[in-house]
Structures are given as C-alpha cells and as structure tokens.
Structure 1
C-alpha cells in the first residue's frame, strides 16, 4: 500500500508563516539578539501521543478498485525531543524528532478479513519557526509553523508481501505553552498538526496492490524543558 499527498498544496500557508517569522528575525536589531542575559537554547524531552485520522480512498488490486475497502492505523505513544534556538526573546527555530512509533496497517471494510496488511515504524523530523509570547512572565505561550519529513522504518509484511511505503513531506502547525519553574527549568505542553499523504504498495496473492493513504496526525506532547 502507499501513502500520498493530497492534490491541494497544504504547505503554502505554514511556509509563508515560517518565512514571515524568519524575516522578523532578520529585521530584529542586533542589540536585542546579542543580549548576554538571553538563554538561547531550549531542549525539551516529551512523551508524545500520536492520534491518526487515516483514509485510503483508492485501493486497487491488479489495477482494479476494491469497493468498500479502507485501512486503519492505531494511535501510538513515543518519546520525543525538540531543540530550540532563540534568536531573540520571542523568536526561535526548533527541530523536533523522536523514537519512531510502531503502526499496524489493518484492512477494514471489504478487506477487513485480511487482518493486518503490514507493520511499520514511522516518525517525523520537523523544522519550525516559533514565536513565543510573554517572554518576561512565567507562562510562555507560543506558536510555530514549518515543514517536516515523515520517515518510515522496519517495514514488515502482513497479508501483503513485498510491502513498501514512501517517506513524505508535510506542512506543520503548532500551539504550545511552557511554564517557568525557575531560571533554567520549564514544563512544556504542545500540540502539532502534521497532515500528509503517501503511497504504499505490496502484493496480494501475486497481484500488485496499490493505494494512496491520506493521514492527518495530531501529536500531543507533555515534557520538561531546560533553558541555557
């Protein structure tokens, strides 16, 4: 089976927002960026729950559509890490990654009797531009936009043989908040939206099976942040 991108270009708005924030960084006076009191690095260790909303609208077998067929992928929990660098007290760049989460791709509808079609581990690597509000208080809300690469590992056959699934690019949006415990440590909670599509393929009884899989995962994280 295969996961693929939707026809509309969903990257335009997040990338435009990222460019806007980065342009704001470049426009910031050097005196603000060079403040010796600014803790530039923020390293956060999270527990992340991945909630998926999947749809395989056009599964085919030997080139013929399979009416009433679809797939299901369960939610997963995995540890994640994000590293941020503050150009100013409000503007930061952030890299997010984690331990690849396991997923079973199960057939539903007319292909439900096949059970588990394949197994795979997956996870995004995300680069974001962030804007942090209220940098002088204990509560630090923030927003982020960016782009990610969804990677797939440890692909295993189930009912399908020769299973393969492609890595995919995706836009990302983020809402979060941090609470300052002291000058170095903070609590973190955030939500990321990473809609993406990809293609998957395999073989069923010697016949080629193909599909486009649209996925709209929501990543909710809670963790601890160290600023230095």
Structure 2
C-alpha cells in the first residue's frame, strides 16, 4: 500500500487543482469526461531474460475507467484506472509464475478537432505500475516470487467519436514503459522489460 501513496497523492492533487486553472477556459458545464470501457495490456514480445531463460508475459483484459478534465477545448488532463490485470509469466515457453498489477496513469492530451464529430488526440504522461500477489507456478512452483513496482513514461493516441453533446465513444492505444526487477527467493534473477501496448475502447459521458 505504501508504494501506491505517491501516485494517489499525485492524482488527487491534479484533479483537485485543475478547476482553478480551467474555470474560464471551457464554456458550459462540460469540462469533465468520464469514460467506462475495457483495456487490454499486451506486453512486448521481447520481455528479456530471467535466470538465463527467455521471458514472456501474456496479455490481460479488464474493465477500465478514465476521468479527463478539459483545461481548454483542446487540452485535457486525464487519470486512467482499471481492475487488476492478471498475467502469466513463461520462461522458455513454460509457465513459471503469475502476477497481478495495477497500472494507473496520469497524462495530458491534445484534442485536434474538439468541436467535430470525429476528433483524434495524442497524449503523454506518467505511469505507476504496482505488482502484487506474484506466485511461482510450474517451473517455480512453491518459490517466493516478487516483481518490483515501476515508474515510467506513457504515450497515447486515439480518437473520440461524438454521438451527441453528452455521449461519445473512444478508441485509443497507449505505450507504457514498464521495467521491473524480478526476484526468486529474495535473489534478483533479472529485469522484466514489459513495455506494453494498451488497447482501449470505452463509452464516455461529458458533463
């Protein structure tokens, strides 16, 4: 829990101070966009080597939530969250461990055509990934496995499809830099270079 505190503090500070900067920049009561959907975390195919063996982390899909505050019609700051993702780790193709992770991300987005029915956007931000409940399986069954938390940059691109003044559909993808030391029995066996692409699809409500 202690490892989550810096990100929680950053998120709370960002969202509570934004209205002071944006109160006069967006007309009407539509400065917030709340999106509900699903996200798929697809790790890099080259995850590195652990204990001298090629590591592979599988994909995971979970429900997601995204809250964006519009500083201006073009610029917005968002916070991404999701239910915990569960991944299987394979070494040389054989199951070796499972882990869960939460990858909250804070970012700033630029919307190219905010008043059009179709509006593409790009963004960049900071990600904090918290790994927990890691367990040795298969090759490492019974072993104590831990994966360190990770801070890294994130990039985003997507498009909003406006249904009406309140509702929209969003499709996006993110690249997140995730590098984590892996330990077995307290001994470091390598670094996992996960660096996933995150595919998202959501329905949003603007208010």
Specify the TM-score bucket, using the shorter chain as the normaliser.
0.7 to 0.9
Please name the residue that 2:176 is paired with: 194
- Larger RCO (CA within 8 A; separation ≥ 6): 1
Say whether residues 1:172 and 2:154 are aligned partners: yes
Please name the residue that 1:227 is paired with: 206
Q: Could you state the TM-score of these two structures normalised by the residue count of structure 1? A: 0.75
Please name the residue that 2:37 is paired with: 46
Q: Could you tell me whether the CA contact under 8 Å between 2:180 and 2:193 is conserved in 1?
A: yes
Matches within 5 A, 1:1-228: 33=25, 35-37=26-28, 39-53=30-44, 54-57=46-49, 59-60=50-51, 66=52, 69-108=53-92, 112=93, 115-158=94-137, 159-160=139-140, 161-203=143-185, 208=187, 210-228=189-207
What's the offset of the Cα at 1:208?
A: 4.3
What's the offset of the Cα at 1:145?
A: 0.4
Q: Could you tell me whether the CA contact under 8 Å between 2:68 and 2:76 is conserved in 1?
A: yes
What secondary structure, in the 3-state scheme, does the structure 2 residue paired with 1:102 have? strand
Q: Could you tell me whether the CA contact under 8 Å between 2:182 and 2:192 is conserved in 1?
A: yes
Please name the residue that 1:6 is paired with: none
What's the offset of the Cα at 1:126?
A: 0.3
What's the offset of the Cα at 1:123?
A: 2.8
Distance between the aligned counterparts of 2:37 and 2:172, measured in 1?
Answer: 10
Deviations 1:157-206 (A, max 9, x none): 22331111111001000001111111100011001000221101114xxx
Which structure 1 residue ranges, 5 or more long, are not aligned?
1-24, 61-65
Superposed structure 1 runs of 4+ greater than 4 Å apart: none
Deviations 1:128-182 (A, max 9, x none): 0111111221112111101100111222222331111111001000001111111
Distance 1:50 1:81, change over 3 A: same
What's the offset of the Cα at 1:116?
A: 2.0
Distance between the aligned counterparts of 2:72 and 2:29, measured in 1?
Answer: 8
What secondary structure, in the 3-state scheme, does the structure 2 residue paired with 1:55 have? coil
Q: Could you state the TM-score of these two structures normalised by the residue count of structure 2? A: 0.82
What secondary structure, in the 3-state scheme, does the structure 1 residue paired with 2:37 have? strand
Corresponding residue pairs, total: 184
